[in-house]
Amino acid sequence: MEPIRILIADDDAGMRTVMRKLVERAEGYALAGEASDGEELLALYDSERPDVVLMDVEMPKIDGVECAKIIQDRNPRTVLVFATAHEQYMRSAFEVYAFDYLVKPFRAERALNTLKLIRERLTAQPAAAAPVRAPGSAASGRLMLKHRD
């Protein structure tokens, strides 16, 4: 099985190092790249097409929430995780379908658990498809709605 590709973005070089070390420790992950601002993040996202983006909220040029909106428009299956020192952006992060929101300083075990849960979600077998009904056949009276994922 191929490793899950993760892109990290933070304007703090030290924090990028911490995140890189976490990715290296996490089973089944490979680093797709590192960005120091929002514009660089989006350029790397387009060229590398990672499965997961781990990013800060407050970054130069384009903030993390705006980047998340753009990424979701390009591929809603991309898993987004925010790692920031600012709790006040949590609501905005989950409005753009963030998988998790890590508040700095966070414990390595907490971040590794998030990566483990992402791996479980991405490697889970999809449910069997429902049988297709012939036109005019009786339906159960239920309607299935799917969300962005």
Mean pLDDT in the chain? Answer: 85
* Confidence at residue 148, expressed as pLDDT on a 0 to 100 scale: 56
Predicted TM-score (pTM) above 0.85: no
Asked if the model's pLDDT at residue 93 lies above 80, the reply is no
pLDDT confidence band for 97 (50 / 70 / 90): confident
The answer to whether the beta carbons of residues 49 and 78 sit under 8 Å apart is no
Nearest to 53 by CA among 61, 63, 64, 62: 64
